[in-house]
Structure 1
Amino acid sequence: MAVSPPVCDFDWPAPDFTLPGTDGRDWSLKDIAGPNGTLVMFICNHCPYVQAVMDRMVRDAKALQDLGIGVAAISANDAAEYPADSFDNMKLEAAKHGFSFPYLYDETQAVAQAYGAACTPDFFGFNAAGGLQYRGRLDASGRQAAAPDVRRELYEGMKQVAETGRGPRDQVASMGCSIKWKAA
């Protein structure tokens, strides 16, 4: 069942974290932050919504890094119930798609909870001061990729953040599979 997160809570502060990356090092929010902002993406390996936009997400992340936006992806899914989302499989996924950003594992799910992540993909775009400015979708894609010439909403929104420190007032929430929470 598809889930959508709430719309952007402007200036909400980015929660700090330190998580292991598929590259073998631990990453904190400070390590990831760019001079013009930071994008934290909650994704996973198996979600059809993520897979539909994976190539576009990688393209846009690289373009945003070129604009001084720091980027990281976090997987928080319960890997015991969803083995495709295991840390070893995350390493394979990052290599397969040539991630230019760290892919981090939130095994305890504490970071996803602190962010209020709702689905995969779920995008949190912060300005240089660490205030939330974008919580919208990548583009109009759903379980299937939209047309190649579709508007690049995440890229445009975060480009505006890089240039002005403020995100667009009108944002369309992302949609995807729910985070696979561990049983209580």
Structure 2
Amino acid sequence: MAALETPACDFGQAAPDFSLLGIDGKTWSRADCVGERGLLVMFICNHCPCVKAIRERIVREARELATLGIGCVAIMSNDPQDYPEDSFENMQRIAAEFDFPFPYLFDESQEVARAYGAVCTPDFFGYNADLALQYRGRFDASRTETAPPEVRRDLFEAMKQVAETGSGPAEQIPSIGCSIKWRSA
């Protein structure tokens, strides 16, 4: 696995809009996903060991963030031609298996990943109520293995701060993961 690291948070950058097919058959937009106090956009996939290591925790954090007014959405932008584990059918299977409490959307054209500047899975973009970027950091200390249960909840703590103050933490540790599997030109 060639791991990539996310760039530093570009505070204030606007959240690009999108119109993507969800695993539920519905087309979702940014407005459908945002919460009263903000939005967490997660670029994930099914095959990446870095995502697999935190799937249960993503579900836990999304449920808790919803109670704070933060909406969550997961987007899968990999090319399933080369990575069949990331197919739409497998997206549906994984979402059901882990009981995703958020929309899981397929970015088939990969245009949404490009618009956000996503580079890896997982890649997290945390926005405040004005849809201004406030967090572009890691989930927690997990990598390809799940970190211990008592690990600092970087993403949750940052998004809780965003919900409460509208601003993210000045210090953020980049996320590391598998590169987005771009379609060949």
Interval containing the TM-score (normalised by the shorter chain): over 0.9
Question: What CA distance in whole angstroms lies between the structure 2 residues aligned with 1:56 and 1:7?
Answer: 23
TM-score w.r.t. structure 2 length?
A: 0.99
Shift of 1:77: 0.2
Question: What is the match of residue 176 of structure 2?
Answer: 175
Question: What is the match of residue 108 of structure 1?
Answer: 109
Question: What CA distance in whole angstroms lies between the structure 2 residues aligned with 1:50 and 1:88?
Answer: 18
C-alpha distance after superposition, 1:84-131 (max 9, x if no partner): 001111000100000000000000000000000010000000000010
What pairs with 1:1-184 in structure 2 (closer than 5 Å)?
Answer: 1-184=2-185
Moved over 3 A (4+): none
Question: What CA distance in whole angstroms lies between the structure 1 residues aligned with 2:132 and 2:118?
Answer: 16
Shift of 1:7: 1.1
Aligned positions, number: 184
Q: Secondary structure, in 3 states, of the residue corresponding to 1:78?
A: coil
Question: What CA distance in whole angstroms lies between the structure 1 residues aligned with 2:150 and 2:85?
Answer: 31
Question: What CA distance in whole angstroms lies between the structure 1 residues aligned with 2:48 and 2:174?
Answer: 17
Shift of 1:23: 1.2
Residue identity opposite 2:9 in structure 1 = C
Shift of 1:75: 0.1
Identity rate, percent: 60
Question: What CA distance in whole angstroms lies between the structure 2 residues aligned with 1:36 and 1:140?
Answer: 26
TM-score w.r.t. structure 1 length?
A: 0.99
Question: What CA distance in whole angstroms lies between the structure 1 residues aligned with 2:162 and 2:25?
Answer: 30
Question: What CA distance in whole angstroms lies between the structure 1 residues aligned with 2:143 and 2:103?
Answer: 24
Q: Which consecutive unaligned segments of at least 5 residues does structure 1 have?
A: none
Question: What CA distance in whole angstroms lies between the structure 1 residues aligned with 2:148 and 2:133?
Answer: 29
